[in-house]
A and B are shown apart, each in its own frame.
Chain A
Amino acid sequence: DIVMTQSPDSLAVSLGERATINCKSSQSVLHTSNKKNYLSWYQQKPGQPPKLLISWASTRESGVPDRFSGSGSGTDFTLTISSLQAEDVAVYSCQQYYSYPQTFGQGTKVEIK
């Protein structure tokens, strides 16, 4: 199984400041045939189901604010919130869908400092 490890487990950021979350996979999730990284990011607010933010490591879903961006390739990925807003308080999780089982990271809790 591919193990997904996120860092940090939690972080507190001031409103308007940048938040950076890292996700590392135990093996590459880059598909050589199509050059796509099989990596997504989800946001989960308290009491709610997860919401898909980013697919293919860097493709934002429709309606997701552009302050959210994804980057990285192979085994190392980053989710960046460029200017943290109050409504961004949530747990963020990465997921690989390169191989079964399609594993998630443990989640990173983002709070306001």
Chain B
Amino acid sequence: EVQLVESGGGLVQPGGSLRLSCAASGFTFSNYWMSWVRQAPGKGLEWLANIKEDGSDKNYMDSVKGRFTISRDNAKTSLYLQMNSLRAEDTAVYYCARVDRSSGDSGYRSLDLWGQGTLVTVSS
């Protein structure tokens, strides 16, 4: 089955760190750009970052640049998001998503497969 499964969410204090993981299965992970998207409670979707197939190119939203790091391990078919200096406003469900490659290999594509998400709560 083609799927993405996130893990690693939880309660963390402001200023703390957390590492999210996303396990991919059912497709050739190393052939796809991958992304992280989050959704604060009751709010809209917010694109955070994406990473090229081989990890050589990464792009971030400004408000997480320098605090969050996207990475991947193709041997383990896994995507990661290292989150440091967490703030209350980072509280959200975090989704990993696959970048569609049906129209060619690029980071500028739709997100065609999503995980179920993992909840991160930043609170003292």
**Bound CA–CA A55/B116 (angstroms):** 21
B109 / chain A contacts, CB cutoff of 8 Å: 55, 97
**Bound CA–CA A48/B43 (angstroms):** 14
- Using a CB–CB cutoff of 8 Å, the interface residues on chain A facing chain B are 1, 38, 40, 42, 44, 48-52, 55-56, 61, 93, 95, 97-98, 100-107
Contact A49 B115 (CB under 8 A): yes
Q: Which stretch, B44-52, B67-75, B79-87, touches the partner chain A?
A: B44-52
Q: Give 6 A-B pairs besides A100-B59, A102-B50 with Cβ atoms closer than 8 angstroms.
A: A1-B62, A38-B108, A52-B112, A97-B110, A98-B108, A100-B60
A101 / chain B contacts, CB cutoff of 8 Å: 47, 59-62
**Bound CA–CA A27/B32 (angstroms):** 28
- Using a CB–CB cutoff of 8 Å, the interface residues on chain B facing chain A are 35, 37, 43-47, 50, 59-62, 95, 100, 103, 108-112, 114-117
Which chain B residue lies CB-closest to A108?
B44
**Bound CA–CA A44/B95 (angstroms):** 13
**Top 5 closest A-B pairs, CB basis?**
A49-B114, A40-B110, A101-B61, A55-B110, A104-B45
**Bound CA–CA A95/B100 (angstroms):** 14
**Bound CA–CA A104/B37 (angstroms):** 10
**Bound CA–CA A51/B116 (angstroms):** 11
B37 / chain A contacts, CB cutoff of 8 Å: 50
Contact B100 A52 (CB under 8 A): yes
B92 to chain A, nearest CB (A): 13
Contact A93 B44 (CB under 8 A): yes
A-B contact pairs, 28 of them (CB 8 A): A40-B111, A48-B116, A49-B117, A51-B114, A52-B100, A52-B110, A52-B111, A55-B100, A55-B103, A55-B109, A56-B103, A93-B44, A93-B45, A95-B47, A95-B110, A97-B109, A97-B110, A98-B108, A100-B60, A101-B59, A101-B61, A102-B108, A104-B44, A104-B45, A104-B46, A104-B47, A106-B43, A107-B45
Which chain A residue lies CB-closest to B99?
A97
**Bound CA–CA A103/B108 (angstroms):** 12
Contact A107 B110 (CB under 8 A): no
